[in-house]
Structure 1
Amino acid sequence: MDRWTGIDEFVAVATLGSFTQAAKQLGTSVAQVSRRVKELEQQLNHQLLTRTTRTLTLTQEGKVFLTHARHLQHAYHDAQLALRQRDQQPSGVLKLTAPVMFGERYIMPIVHDFMRKYPKVSVEMLLSNEQLDIVSMGIDVAIRLGHLKDSSLKARKLSTRNTLVCASPTYITNYGQPYSLNELSAHNCLIGNSRTWRFLDATRERNISVHGNLICNSGWALLDAACKGLGLVQLPHYYVQTALQQQKLVEVLPNFRPEPEGVWALYPPRQYLPTSLRLLLDHLVAQFAQQNS
């Protein structure tokens, strides 16, 4: 039996001096109040009330227990109040992880604004391109890019990312521009973490093997090489958008862009999210929506 069972009923009866009045106050039946008080007495192994057809009095044990029961009710009320105040002004430490470049450029500025809004929240950010085990590491939120693996983690979609193939005007002048996927074999491709590039050919996804004279796991380095005319590059839009605007790069094969991938916030499943975490997730969603509008 729940250790709290009967306490509210007993206090109401003792205070009002009536099972009927207690039932009205608690919004339940007289039988329910009587049953709960009896269960409480059985759990305590003490009689708390002396009942006759006309009178209802507290036993000595009932008087002692009433004082402590009221303290319990006050403590519970104070705990509820503390949580409501915490909701109004979230605090505590949030542990986050995100891919290095995306975290530096996009996530942390949003997080910094969140921290300005809620100064009692502290943040520990681990920037890593590894797929960390957020549950075992006690991480509250992981920012992940692309297609998600099946898992027990909860996910909220923040945005999407497009992947583009680009080249500099100088490269196109010197080596020409590909218009079909078959032409990629004749071009120098600047390679990142994968030697295959993803495309959407009509409605069919295709992975094309590419080759080139530069392999590097830094998107910024590949971007610089492409701007300097060394070859074609396939990168997410946030790497190349400024260079495209400045006409340092030109998108090629635009009709074969792969399907956009998701930008996700992953977090461990839990029945109730801490207020600070819930507000941060809402803040991330709102900020990405504003950027994309």
Structure 2
Amino acid sequence: MSRWLGIDEFIAVGEEGSFTRAASVLGVSVAHISRHVTQLEQRLNTQLLTRTTRKVVLTKEGEVFLHQTKHLQHALDDATGLLAQQQSTPKGKIKLTAPVMYGESFVMPAVHTFMQQHSDVEVEMALSNEQENLLEGGFDLAIRLGHLKDSSLKARRLSERHFVICCSKAYLARFGEPHTLAELQNHQCLVGNSSYWRVCEQGRDKHIKVAGRLRCNSGWALADAAKKGLGIIQLPNYYIERDLAAGDLVPILMNSQPKPEGVWGVYPPRQFVATNVRALLDHLITSLN
């Protein structure tokens, strides 16, 4: 009997916490998953999972075995992938996801140029402001903005974004310029998805609550409102670069601007990255900076 039998099934159950979800990930039946995991436990003479009617939990032995076997699985994937890596030209399908606005405005134009350069590459893009599960969705790459949550995923820093507090000259002429964060309480702040702005005070980032008579979940709409003198905004630089350059908006509270955040390319946790994905990552680093 193969020593590998049941390993993939066990890893899937351990990561998903469910026989049903593991079966969905691997594209097999629940009975197949259960049978192979049970055979693996019998072969090892060790209980790896505690099964209840509601959930599946790793035993202590199962946690140790999962950690070690994931390394073996990745090594096998790397060995297989090294064969494909010998291709000198990127080819094949890349499935990726990105936030809607950033994806439409910046990622996809760069992807289109990449496709012009590599005629054998196919792309499937899912634009979504929800963070898609890479493994469940079969994604090769995800573009993520800001601070990354701890996970087993790999990441490359593609670019960075700066948050800018700004308003129009007309607003300043009418209401005056705030010189401290505390003074924002006396001003109209244009609010997005969150009522909190990330700022820097005495060298440390923190969040402050802001309020105003306009709330909207569109950065473009908030930028337009600010240009028309309706209030003060805080937005990532890519929404307002042209407005700042043209003088339609002016930055304020410069000493309180938060530290830059990363724009990341996130991909499944393997040493080997497919040739086409690696080439696209390199291209995005050049294009987004």
In the alignment, residue 240 of structure 2 is paired with which amino acid? V
Contact 2:95 2:124 survives alignment (8 Å): yes
Residue 265 (structure 1) aligned with residue 265 (structure 2):
yes
CA contact (8 A) 2:190 2:231 kept: yes
- Structure-2 separation of matches of 1:285 and 1:214: 36
Find the aligned partners of 1:227 and 1:148 in 2 and give their Cα distance. 32
Match of 2:98 in 1: 98
> 1:89/1:204 Cα in 2 relative to 1: closer, same or farther (>3 Å)?
closer
- 1:66-94 alpha-carbon deviations (Å, 9 max, x no partner): xxxxxxxxxxxxx99x847x712222110
1:1-293 equivalence runs, <5 A: 83=84, 87-288=87-288, 291=289
Larger RCO of the pair (alpha carbons < 8 Å, separation 6+)? 2
How far off its partner does 1:286 sit? Answer: 2.6
- Matched residue of 2:135: which SS? coil
Give the % identical residues: 52
Q: Deviations over 1:194-213 (max 9, x none)?
A: 10111111212221111101
Structure 1: how far apart are the matches of 2:88 and 2:200? 47
Counterpart in 1 of 2:38? none
Q: Distance in 1 between matches of 2:159 and 2:112?
A: 19
Aligned equivalents of 1:180 and 1:240: distance in 2? 22
Unaligned stretches of 5+ residues in structure 2: 3-79
How many angstroms does 1:287 deviate by?
Answer: 2.5
Give the TM-score normalised by structure 2.
0.70
Q: Give the C-alpha shift of residue 269 in structure 1.
A: 1.2
1:167-222 Cα shifts (integer Å, max 9, x gaps): 01111111111010010000000000110111111212221111101111100010
Tell me how far apart the structure 2 counterparts of residues 119 and 244 of structure 1 sit (CA, whole Å): 38
Distance across 2 between alignment mates of 1:192 and 1:94: 32
- In the other structure, the counterpart of 1:35 is none
Q: Which runs of 4+ in 1 moved over 2 A?
A: none
Deviation at 1:109, TM superposition (A): 1.2
Deviation at 1:272, TM superposition (A): 2.0
Question: What is the distance in 2 between the residues matched to 1:102 and 1:205?
Answer: 24
State the distance in 2 between where 1:117 and 1:179 align.
49
Report the Cα distance in structure 2 between the residues aligned to 1:243 and 1:271, rounded to whole angstroms. 42
CA distance in 1, matches of 2:282, 2:246: 33
The CA RMSD measured in Å over matched residues stands at: 2.1
CA–CA distance in structure 1, aligned partners of residues 204 and 152 of structure 2: 30
Q: Supply the AA of the counterpart residue of 1:279.
A: A
TM-score, structure 1 as length reference: 0.69
Give 1 or 2 for the bigger CA radius of gyration: 1
SS of equivalent to 2:235: strand
Tell me how far apart the structure 2 counterparts of residues 104 and 133 of structure 1 sit (CA, whole Å).
Answer: 20
Indicate how the Cα distance of structure 1 residues 147 and 83 shifts in structure 2: closer, same or farther if over 3 A, else same: closer
